[in-house]
């Protein structure tokens, strides 16, 4: 087996708060090959965003990566110094956030910000950096890029701002982009435009992508593989077809059954009872146990990720039976 682009082993990120230790990420394993799109799915508080931030060492105090390894092309980023991380961030691994209004500087023009981003990593002339920014904007489908480079973030619509954020992420043709809910705040037609561009760019440039989201529908349309998170752990991983068509973890199945469009009109949805547990006070063993209809005595011990192969595994003592079935939608 070839060395994957990114390998996350037993990543643990804890927040030491006055109320106690919040184990936001508690033993996450992921692997990602070159050019692959991984959907990292979970509900609020599942630790999906913190996982994305931990990979790049972007967790703010009181949060801290307390264990595990993040191997990026064989190099462990957890132990890497700030200087080394700065060389990687933006250049080899880029990040796109949910709200580009928070990541773009409101008092600098788009051009200034993009030229700065180019020159932070490469010794190129201002004119060359400008030209590269112009091309990056054109590539994400922004019309009249010259004019747009002179504009300020507030002059853009939400969808355009997100395109700019993607263009900035693409400036250095990174090997990996981590996108944290980048289309959640956008309208359906605008979201489709962004997904279209992203899909096209990943195909063209061979950039790998981690798409962090709560939206199963977006993931199923975009990703190659999916990792489902619950209470700080990956509970199931597999290809989109495996996860959507034949979920093995009861939580994944419950999540899928809760999606209205997969149910018959007017029939009550099969929802998961209860609510997400507080990460301050997780139940012993499997965190999903109190909401699970398949739980047994064994579930008081945390199950390991087991499965057919490394990329098709689940963390459950009583997995849902494998079914030979096609699309149930």
Partner 1 sequence: MTAVPIIELDGLTKRFSRKLDVVERFARRLGAAIDDRAVQAVSGVDLSIAEGEVVGLVGESGCGKSTLGRMVAGILPPSAGTLRWRGRDLRELSPADRHHANLKIQMVFQDPMASLNPRLRVADIVGEAPVVHGLVPRRQAEEYVAATLRQVGLDPAYLRRYPHQFSGGQRQRIGIARALAVKPDVLVCDESVAALDVSIQAQIINLFMRLREELSLTYLFISHDLGVVEHISDRTAIMYLGRIVELAPTPELFDKPNHPYAKALLDEAPRVSVEKRRFAPIRGEIPSPLDPPSGCAFHPRCPHAMPRCSAERPALRAIAPRRWSACHLNETTGP
Q: Is 39 left (phi over 0), alpha (psi -120 to 50) or beta?
A: beta
Residues 42-61, interacting with partner 1 (CB under 8 A)? 43-44
- 95, β-bridge pairs: 178
Question: Which residue number, 88 or 237, has a Cβ lying nearer to partner 1?
Answer: 237
Q: What is the Cα–Cα distance from 80 to 56, expressed in whole angstroms? A: 10
The footprint of partner 1 on this chain (CB under 8 A) covers a number of residues equal to 52
158-168 per-residue burial string, b: 16 or more CB within 10 A, e: under 16? ebbbbbbbbbb
Q: Does 220 contact partner 1 by CB under 8 A?
A: yes
Span near partner 1 by CB under 8 A; candidates 25-33, 63-71, 125-133, 195-203: 195-203
Asked if 197 contacts 135 with a C-beta cutoff of 8 angstroms, the reply is no
How would you classify the pairing of strands 20-32 and 6-17?
antiparallel
Span near partner 1 by CB under 8 A; candidates 50-58, 93-101, 119-127, 214-222: 214-222
When binding is defined by CB under 8 A, the residue of 24, 28, 201, 216 that contacts partner 1 is: 216
Q: Does 214 contact partner 1 by CB under 8 A?
A: yes
Question: Which residue number, 120 or 195, has a Cβ lying nearer to partner 1?
Answer: 195
| 265-284 footprint of partner 1 as x/- string (CB under 8 A) | xx-xxxxxx-xx--------
- For residue 57, the minimal CB distance to partner 1 (Å) is 28
Question: Which residue number, 123 or 265, has a Cβ lying nearer to partner 1?
Answer: 265
Span near partner 1 by CB under 8 A; candidates 22-30, 74-82, 174-182, 212-220: 212-220
Question: In what side-by-side order are the strands of the sheet with 233-239?
Answer: 93-96, 176-180, 208-213, 37-41, 225-230, 233-239, 312-314, 306-309
Question: Which residue number, 16 or 269, has a Cβ lying nearer to partner 1?
Answer: 269
When binding is defined by CB under 8 A, the residue of 208, 212, 256, 286 that contacts partner 1 is: 256
Q: What is the Cα–Cα distance from 156 to 158, expressed in whole angstroms? A: 7
How would you classify the pairing of strands 312-314 and 93-96?
unpaired
Instruction: Tell which residue, 44, 71, 37, has the closest CA to residue 223.
Output: 37
Distance of CA 86 to the CA centre of its chain: 20
Q: Does 254 contact partner 1 by CB under 8 A?
A: yes
- For residue 295, the minimal CB distance to partner 1 (Å) is 16
When binding is defined by CB under 8 A, the residue of 105, 125, 173, 263 that contacts partner 1 is: 263
Question: Which residue number, 119 or 214, has a Cβ lying nearer to partner 1?
Answer: 214
End-to-end CA distance of the chain: 34
Instruction: Tell which residue, 218, 259, 225, has the closest CA to residue 241.
Output: 225
- For residue 214, the minimal CB distance to partner 1 (Å) is 7
Q: Does 159 contact partner 1 by CB under 8 A?
A: yes
Q: What is the Cα–Cα distance from 282 to 108, expressed in whole angstroms? A: 44
Span near partner 1 by CB under 8 A; candidates 81-89, 105-113, 167-175, 239-247: 239-247
Asked if 169 contacts 115 with a C-beta cutoff of 8 angstroms, the reply is no
Q: What is the Cα–Cα distance from 111 to 228, expressed in whole angstroms? A: 38
Q: Does 153 contact partner 1 by CB under 8 A?
A: no
Residues that bind partner 1 (CB under 8 A): 43-44, 157, 159-160, 187-193, 195-196, 199, 214-218, 220-224, 240-241, 244-245, 254-263, 265-266, 268-273, 275-276, 326-327, 329
């Amino acid at each position: 087996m070839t060395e994957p682009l990114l390998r996350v082993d037993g990543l643990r990120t804890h927040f030491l708060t006055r109320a106690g230790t919040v184990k936001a990420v508690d033993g996450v394993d992921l692997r990602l090959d070159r050019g692959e799109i991984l959907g990292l799915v979970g509900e609020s508080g599942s630790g999906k965003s913190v996982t994305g931030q931990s990979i790049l060492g972007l967790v703010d105090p009181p949060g801290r990566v307390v264990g595990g390894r993040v191997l990026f092309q064989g190099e462990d980023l957890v132990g890497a110094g700030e200087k080394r991380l700065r060389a990687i961030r933006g250049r080899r691994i880029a990040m796109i956030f949910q709200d580009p209004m928070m990541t773009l500087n409101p008092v600098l023009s788009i051009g200034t910000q993009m030229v700065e981003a180019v020159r932070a990593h490469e010794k190129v002339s201002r004119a060359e950096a400008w030209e590269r920014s112009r091309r990056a904007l054109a590539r994400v489908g922004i019309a009249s890029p010259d004019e747009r480079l002179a504009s300020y973030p507030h002059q853009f619509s939400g969808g355009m701002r997100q395109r700019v954020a993607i263009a900035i992420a693409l400036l250095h043709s990174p090997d990996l982009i981590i996108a944290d809910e980048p289309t959640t705040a956008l309208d359906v037609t605008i979201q489709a435009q962004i997904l279209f561009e992203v899909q096209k760019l990943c195909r063209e440039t061979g950039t790998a992508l981690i798409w962090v989201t709560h939206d199963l529908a977006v993931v199923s349309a975009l990703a190659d593989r999916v990792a489902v998170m619950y209470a700080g752990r990956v509970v199931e991983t597999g290809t989109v077809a495996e996860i959507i068509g034949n979920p093995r973890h009861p939580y994944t199945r419950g999540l899928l059954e809760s999606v209205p469009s997969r149910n018959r009109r007017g029939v009550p949805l099969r929802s998961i009872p209860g609510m997400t547990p507080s990460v301050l006070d997780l139940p012993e063993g499997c965190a999903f146990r109190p909401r699970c209809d398949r739980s047994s005595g064994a579930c008081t011990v945390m199950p390991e990720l087991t499965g057919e192969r490394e990329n098709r595994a689940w963390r459950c003592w009583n997995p849902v039976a494998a079914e030979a079935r096609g699309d149930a939608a």
